[in-house]
């Protein structure tokens, strides 16, 4: 808690993620402390212990809650290895809505196993008044995985295209910009460069459970400092940050996660507004869809340019084939296995 107290007020967005935040017995205290510091406070949860969020939603109805959901019941439970997970999450989120929750939704990692269900899940969420945030497979030290790789990249990106079209059909402005975010995901899945430069260490950072502050949750070499030993301002304007920013400007990982994509889409000065590029894309394609046209994805993404990812360690399992899990033990040096990976 002493570390969290050092996070300055006036932060635009704070996301409590995991691990699993609902396993924290002091989650309410953490929220009490962080809620006044941020314009938006999000809790990203697997949704299996949603009852633990009920007192939080009663007290702070505008807290943003996202539960991981990967598709229909059988797909979600298979992909996430959950028993009855889908039912618990849907029931749990509906309960949070009854209690007054205002910003509730699911988050889906679009991948080989569920790409065909993205549109269906979008409509399912919408029907219940929930949001749907999407991402795709990434590697990173914080994920404790180095073999998150899409296999049929073309099929996944095609399904993302369908989702983009659906998102542009409605009247929800948020979804129109999510459509642009999903355009970036199409590029990510195909292995392209980011559509917009990453602004890690300028617009966002990641704090790990040991109070280490990193520019992002992907590269363990981008450590800015430790919040237990130092003050936020020392870390954020310390000597190492310029070198780290240079390294970020040459970063080849090309991640396009919600945090790194949303910040890149924002206007650098007027942060509530989008940059011109995403704005014009949204206006043009929304009008096209409204007047019965379709998006010409080839204008934005080279769909035939699909990365040949030989340098990525491929998963030794896929779909129903099992593999031995390699979990890091508590006493091992943090992230030692995850220094070497490539995020394409």
List the structure tokens of 12: 């635009």
Least distance CB 259 / ligand SF4 (angstroms): 8
Which residue's CB is nearer to ligand SF4, number 242 or number 290? 242
Which residue's CB is nearer to ligand SF4, number 57 or number 216? 216
Which residue's CB is nearer to ligand SF4, number 122 or number 256? 256
* Alpha-carbon gap, residue 104 to 132, rounded angstroms: 9
- Contacts for 303-308: CB closer than 8 Å, 24+ residues apart: 303/154, 303/157, 303/190, 305/190, 305/191, 305/192, 306/153, 306/154, 306/190, 306/191, 307/153, 307/190, 307/191, 307/192, 307/344
* Alpha-carbon gap, residue 96 to 57, rounded angstroms: 7
Which residue's CB is nearer to ligand SF4, number 218 or number 282? 218
Which residue's CB is nearer to ligand SF4, number 90 or number 215? 215
Which residue's CB is nearer to ligand SF4, number 106 or number 206? 206
C-beta neighbour count of 339 within 10 angstroms: 11
List of residues contacting ligand SF4 (CB under 6 A): 198, 200, 215-216, 218-219, 248, 251, 253-255, 260
Least distance CB 133 / ligand SF4 (angstroms): 17
List the structure tokens of 313: 């360690």
- List the beta bridge partners of residue 103: 64
Which residue's CB is nearer to ligand SF4, number 50 or number 146? 146
Least distance CB 196 / ligand SF4 (angstroms): 11
Least distance CB 215 / ligand SF4 (angstroms): 6
List the structure tokens of 155: 């099929």
* Alpha-carbon gap, residue 27 to 6, rounded angstroms: 17
Per this entry, what is the length of the chain? Answer: 344
Least distance CB 218 / ligand SF4 (angstroms): 4
Give the CA angle between residues 119, 175, 91 to the nearest 5°: 60
Residue 103 in 3-state DSSP?
strand
Least distance CB 343 / ligand SF4 (angstroms): 6
Least distance CB 199 / ligand SF4 (angstroms): 8
């Amino acid at each position: 808690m002493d570390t969290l107290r050092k996070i300055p007020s006036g932060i635009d967005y704070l996301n409590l993620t995991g691990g699993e935040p609902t396993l924290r017995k002091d989650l309410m205290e953490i929220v009490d402390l962080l809620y006044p510091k941020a314009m938006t406070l999000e809790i990203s949860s697997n949704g299996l212990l949603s009852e633990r969020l009920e007192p939080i939603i009663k007290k702070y109805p505008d807290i943003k809650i996202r539960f991981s959901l990967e598709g229909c019941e059988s797909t979600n439970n298979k992909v996430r290895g959950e028993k009855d997970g889908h039912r618990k999450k849907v029931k749990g989120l509906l309960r949070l809505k009854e209690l007054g929750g205002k910003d509730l939704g699911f988050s889906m990692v679009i991948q080989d196993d569920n790409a065909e269900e993205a549109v269906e899940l979008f409509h399912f969420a919408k029907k219940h008044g929930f949001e749907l945030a999407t991402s795709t497979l990434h590697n990173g030290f914080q994920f404790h995985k180095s073999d998150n790789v899409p296999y049929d990249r073309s099929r996944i990106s095609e399904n993302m295209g369908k989702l983009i079209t659906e998102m542009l059909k409605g009247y929800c402005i948020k979804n129109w910009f999510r459509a642009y975010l999903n355009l970036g995901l199409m590029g990510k899945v195909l292995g392209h460069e980011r559509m917009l430069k990453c602004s890690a260490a300028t617009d966002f950072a990641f704090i790990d459970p040991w109070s280490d502050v990193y520019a992002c949750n992907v590269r363990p070499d981008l450590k800015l400092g430790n919040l237990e030993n130092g003050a936020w301002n020392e870390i954020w304007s310390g000597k190492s940050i310029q070198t780290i920013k240079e390294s970020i400007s040459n970063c080849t990982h090309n991640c396009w996660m919600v945090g790194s994509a949303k910040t890149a889409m924002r206007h650098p000065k007027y942060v509530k507004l989008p940059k011109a590029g995403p704005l014009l894309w949204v206006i043009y394609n929304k009008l096209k869809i409204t007047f019965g046209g379709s998006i010409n994805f080839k204008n934005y993404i080279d769909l035939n340019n699909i990365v040949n990812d030989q340098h990525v360690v491929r998963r030794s399992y896929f779909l129903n084939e099992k593999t031995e899990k390699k979990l890091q033990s508590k006493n091992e040096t943090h992230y030692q296995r995850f220094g070497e990976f490539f995020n394409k």
